[in-house]
Each structure stands twice: as structure tokens, then as C-alpha cells.
Amino acid sequence: MLQNAQSVSVRTSDTLKQRDIYSRAQLREMFDISDATINTGVFRPKGHDSVWLFVTERKTADRTQYEDVLDHDTLYWQGQTSGRTDDLVREHQQRGLELLLFYRHAKYEHPGAAFRYEGPFAYVSDEGKNPASFVLKREHTDLMAATEEEAQHSDAFDPQSIEDGRKRIATDIVRRRGQPAFRHQLIAAYGGRCAITECNVVDVLEAAHIYPYRGSETNVVTNGLLLRTDIHTLFDLGWITINADDYTVTVHQNLRQSEYGQWHGKLLKLPTSASMMPSREALEWHQSETGKQG
């Protein structure tokens, strides 16, 4: 029996950070969850105004082969064959519930079979049944507009908050760039230039893992690429991959009419030392496991 939406008050999105990685075990601990149904694809945490969707794009052979894919801001997702939770998704807005997406390309894309938290989505449409095919759209939260509005209504000035803000920004930048030692090794190997764009602005270059981070043993130059921030994101999402045979760049056809299309077919800028060349095995894994079809 679903709880009345008016009887709950906690919104999960207030606690989670968009684009961070969370395993089900972490979520259980964070929110004191003992309900075993968290292991299903659609979960309504008790006491929350939230519905969680756990979506794996490429299923293991023992799972129902639903056709699910996140394409930029649109999720094409199939509900359960029984249809028991379909109305919860269709009516989440009427019930006052946020619909939150946890997404991964493959089961072991992240340590602990974790998911990337993609944030809130909204129901758009669905067709068919058992399973129904849904279309959901990402809800963009206008943080800048909210910040500006708050600033307009605030007369207080706290110099200490400026220093705290600078520290938070610096911490966020370091985290995005990757583990410092690993990044420094890649900067040296690639001569301080993005391996795809050859951008030499070091402040926007990041350490990208080819095979996902699994501890210090994966922090080796042959399992990394030095990439510009936006290229790193597209590489992680599989919109840009590298051909292991000849080290050429593949840009997905959906992006080839954009500014990123200029790098399709380009030869990767490679380290001068053969011992630092990106692993062909890792590149093959990345293209097969994360590369977009088409």
C-alpha cells in the first residue's frame, strides 16, 4: 500500500549530489533503509516524497532484457512486466513525488555495482503495457536563478563566507580533475595537452580513467587519458570512444554535426614513450561497454 504523499516530508534530492556515485549499500546506510525492495528497479523509500529509479542500460544475461537508455536529457525506459509500479511513475507529479534516476551503463561500471545519480526526471508519456515504454525528461534546477534571487533579498555580508566558498570551489575542482598524482603523471605523459583536442590550458585538463577506477591499481598511465573537461564527460558517457586498433577518435553520429564532430576520425595525441601508451585492452573494453550504439 502506497503512503499518502501528504504524510511524508523528506525529499531525497536535498541530500544527494547530482552526478555523484552511490551504491545501494551506501543508500541503505545514508537513509537507514531495511526494505529489501530497494533491490528492484522502482523503489519508494518510506518517509520520503521520492521515487527512485535504478536503471542499467546493458543487463546481465540473467536479468529481464528491458530496453532502457539515457539519451542526453531523455530517458527511454520500460516499466516492470507486471506493471505494478507504472502508476507510481505516471502519477508522481500528481502525488507530489519527485522521480529520481540512478543510472549505469553496465552493472560493474562503478565500484560496488553502484549507479550515477542523474537527478530528478519528469514523466512525459508512455505506451503499451507489460512492459509499458516510458519517456521521461530531466528536470533542470535553475540554481543560478535561485542564487540571484536570494542575493537580491539579502543585505548581510559575511567575509568568512567568501573564504569558505573559495575552499569549496577549490575542493570541487580537485575532485573533478581526478587523483592528483595520477593527473600529474598524465600531464607529463601527454605534454600538458588534451589527447583529443590538444588544448594546453592545464586548468581544464582532467585525468580520465579508461577502465573505471577500482583503487590505486587502476591509477596507471596506460589506463588513463588526459582530456579536457567536456571531452572527459563525453568519454565517460560513451559519446566519444577511441578505436583500439589505430587510436582514432570515434564521435557518435548524434554529435557529428556539433562542434565535437571535428574530432571524429582524428588520431589520438599519444605519449612519446611506448611504455605510457593507452592500453588497447582497456580501450576495447571502454568502447564495448560504454560506447553508444549507432
43 and 123 belong to one structural domain: yes
Q: Which domain holds residue 204?
A: 175-290
Q: Which amino acid is at 16?
A: L
What confidence tens digit (pLDDT) does each residue in 172-212 have? 444 444 467 788 889 999 999 999 999 999 889 999 989 87
pLDDT of residue 97: 93
Phi and psi of 99, rounded to 5°?
-115, 110
194 and 107 belong to one structural domain: no
pLDDT of residue 69: 86
High-pLDDT (> 70) share of the chain, %: 80
Question: All 3 cell numbers of residue 32?
Answer: 537507514
193 and 121 belong to one structural domain: no
119 and 182 belong to one structural domain: no
Q: Are 77 and 90 within 8 A, CB to CB?
A: no
Preceding amide of 131 cis, omega within 30:
yes
Beta strand 50-58 pairing with 98-106: parallel
134 and 215 belong to one structural domain: no
pLDDT of residue 4: 40
127 and 190 belong to one structural domain: no
Please report whether residue 144 resides in a domain.
no
pLDDT of residue 226: 95
113 and 16 belong to one structural domain: yes
C-alpha 125/C-alpha 137 separation (Å) is 10
Give start and end residues of each alpha helix (H) in the chain. 24-31, 86-90, 143-152, 159-177, 180-189, 229-237, 280-290
Predicted structure pTM score: 0.48
Phi and psi of 98, rounded to 5°?
-85, 145
Map grid coordinates 571524429 to a residue. 264
pLDDT of residue 144: 41
Please report whether residue 149 resides in a domain.
no
pLDDT of residue 178: 47
Residue 73 binned pLDDT confidence (cut-offs 50, 70, 90)? confident
CATH of the domain at 12: 2.30.280
For the chain, how many structural domains are there in total? 2
Question: All 3 cell numbers of residue 4?
Answer: 499518502
C-alpha 119/C-alpha 99 separation (Å) is 8
Give the residue with greater pLDDT, 187 vs 153: 187
Pairs from 238-242 (Cβ < 8 Å, separation ≥ 24):
238/105, 238/286, 238/290, 238/291, 238/292, 239/292, 240/196, 241/283, 241/286, 241/287, 241/290, 241/291, 242/210, 242/268, 242/278, 242/283, 242/286, 242/287
Please report whether residue 146 resides in a domain.
no
SS (HEC) of 131-147: CCEEEEEECCCCHHHHH
pLDDT surpassing 70 at residue 157: no
134 and 14 belong to one structural domain: yes
